[in-house]
């Protein structure tokens, strides 16, 4: 079974309810039909009628959650009229197990309410993302499976934030994708001291912090992409590294390199996939506005699996 087949199988056994705030978007409607037919989850397409059901109760609950941040009751009531906030309140109150959105809305539109309402899991400082990528070249990563982070959320992570991203992504590789041994490469334009720059120093520092946070995780840096993935290059540039030449998790130093990197892989190399958010207390996932119906189905399935694991 490939990773998608495994995720579909796990989703089927969970019976989770996933809210879709973009309830009249045609690809989302088509995806919801497939999800229901295949038994992957129980989808809820949000409509203006549905949003009248609990608007007052959610406005009151949202006001309680955000009043310390200076929101008035009117602020909360106005937000709850927005499907993204209404959907997020369904997840927060347990009326849904997870949320998938983003076929129309921007990533920021979806992330902000998730961060304000659902917030991070206990013990987790930072929400970030992992792209689950299938490469045509099966000699790379874990039989062609690679995880990239963070290509969606944190524009400019500090060394400490980068370390948390690395540890969360190793965890996602293990728990969601069934990777028995995550091997994490902390990417840079330098390999183990081949260049000196403050940007390289940040990755080196992040590697040190990540080792301290999760000593059991196989993690090395700083590594260039070729040294991380190609055994022959690793033998020259990073002999003896436990990760170089066999990495299955790639941690980019910032959002620009991560976002550009995954799109280069997808458009030039045919290495496509989908993103999951990691670190949220309840699962909410974002779509690309260019997503296909299949992407939405897979993202709903993976959200259902994340909800099962909670
Ligand atoms: N983890 C946990 N909490 C966070 C994080 C994070 N990474 N980032 C922000 N927060 C919290 C803040 O603490 C704050 O909480 P509070 O209001 O309870 O105090 C809340 O979220 C809002 O924080 P702000 O800093 O005011 O939010 P901001 O307006 O900066 O938005 C956002 C945060 C949406 C994540 C922003 O950083 C962003 O837009 N990131 C990039 C998204 C993007 O465009 N990605 C690329 C495209 S995606 C693609 O191509 C697939």
* Residue-averaged pLDDT of the chain: 96
Q: How much of the chain, in percent, has pLDDT values that exceed 90? A: 93
pLDDT band (50, 70, 90) for residue 123: confident
Q: Is the dihedral of CA 83, 84, 89, 90 positive or negative?
A: positive
pLDDT of residue 159: 98
Predicted confidence (pLDDT) per residue in 25-38, tens digit? 999 999 999 999 99
pLDDT of residue 274: 87
Looking at the structure, tell me whether residues 266 and 287 fall in a common domain: no
CATH number of the domain within which 79 lies: 3.40.50.10950
Looking at the structure, tell me whether residues 115 and 145 fall in a common domain: no
Gap between the Cα atoms of 167 and 141, Å rounded: 17
Under 8 Å between Cβ of 210 and 217: yes
Looking at the structure, tell me whether residues 158 and 221 fall in a common domain: yes
Looking at the structure, tell me whether residues 112 and 223 fall in a common domain: no
Looking at the structure, tell me whether residues 181 and 296 fall in a common domain: no
Looking at the structure, tell me whether residues 180 and 289 fall in a common domain: no
Looking at the structure, tell me whether residues 40 and 140 fall in a common domain: no
Mean pLDDT of 163-181: 95
Of the candidates 182, 309, 179, 305, the one whose C-alpha atom is nearest the C-alpha of residue 251 is 182
Predicted confidence (pLDDT) per residue in 100-111, tens digit? 999 999 999 999
Residue with the two structure tokens 């070249």: 137
Looking at the structure, tell me whether residues 185 and 50 fall in a common domain: no
Gap between the Cα atoms of 37 and 115, Å rounded: 32
Full DSSP string of 20-34: ES-TT-HHHHHHHHH
Substitution candidate for ligand 1 out of 153, 161, 168, 292 with most atoms within 8 A of CB: 153
Looking at the structure, tell me whether residues 301 and 193 fall in a common domain: no
Query: What is the pTM assigned to this prediction?
Result: 0.93
Looking at the structure, tell me whether residues 301 and 269 fall in a common domain: no
The number of distinct structural domains making up the chain is 2
CATH number of the domain within which 184 lies: 3.40.50.10750
Helix (H, G, I), strand (E, B) or coil at 15: coil
| Structural domain boundaries enclosing 187 | 128-273
Looking at the structure, tell me whether residues 109 and 235 fall in a common domain: no
List all residues whose CB is within 6 A of at least one atom of ligand 1: 69, 107-108, 111-112, 115-116, 120, 126-127, 152-155, 259, 275, 288
Q: State phi, psi for 94 to the nearest 5 degrees.
A: 85, 5
* Runs of H (alpha helix) within 39-96: 48-52, 55-66, 73-80, 83-93
Looking at the structure, tell me whether residues 266 and 170 fall in a common domain: yes
Predicted confidence (pLDDT) per residue in 130-165, tens digit? 999 999 999 999 999 999 999 999 999 999 999 999
């Amino acid at each position: 079974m490939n990773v998608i087949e495994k995720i579909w199988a796990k989703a089927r056994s969970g019976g989770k309810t996933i809210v879709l705030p973009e309830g009249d978007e045609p690809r989302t409607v088509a995806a919801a039909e497939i999800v229901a037919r295949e038994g992957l989850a129980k989808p809820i397409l949000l409509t203006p009628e549905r949003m009248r059901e609990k608007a007052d109760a959610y406005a009151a609950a949202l006001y309680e959650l955000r009043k310390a941040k200076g929101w008035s009751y009117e602020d909360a009531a106005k937000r709850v009229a927005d499907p993204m906030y209404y959907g997020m309140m369904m997840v927060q109150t347990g009326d849904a197990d997870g949320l998938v959105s983003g076929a129309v809305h921007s990533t920021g539109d979806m992330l902000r309410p998730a961060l304000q309402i659902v917030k991070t899991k206990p013990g987790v400082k930072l929400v970030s993302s992992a792209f689950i990528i299938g490469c045509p070249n099966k000699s790379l990563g874990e039989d062609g499976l690679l995880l990239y982070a963070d290509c969606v959320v944190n524009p400019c992570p500090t060394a400490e934030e980068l370390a948390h991203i690395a540890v969360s992504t190793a965890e996602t590789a293990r728990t969601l994708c069934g990777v028995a041994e995550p091997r994490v490469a902390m990417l840079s334009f330098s390999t183990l001291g081949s260049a000196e720059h403050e940007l390289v120093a940040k990755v080196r520092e992040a590697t040190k912090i990540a080792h301290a946070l999760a000593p059991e995780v196989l993690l090395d840096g700083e590594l260039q992409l070729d040294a991380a993935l190609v055994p022959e290059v690793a033998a020259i540039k990073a002999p003896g590294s436990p990760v170089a030449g066999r990495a299955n998790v790639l941690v980019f130093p910032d959002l620009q390199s991560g976002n550009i990197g995954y799109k280069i892989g997808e458009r030039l190399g045919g290495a496509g996939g989908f993103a999951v958010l990691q670190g949220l207390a309840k699962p909410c996932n974002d779509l690309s506005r260019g997503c296909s119906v299949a992407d939405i189905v897979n993202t709903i399935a993976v959200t259902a699996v994340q909800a099962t694991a909670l």
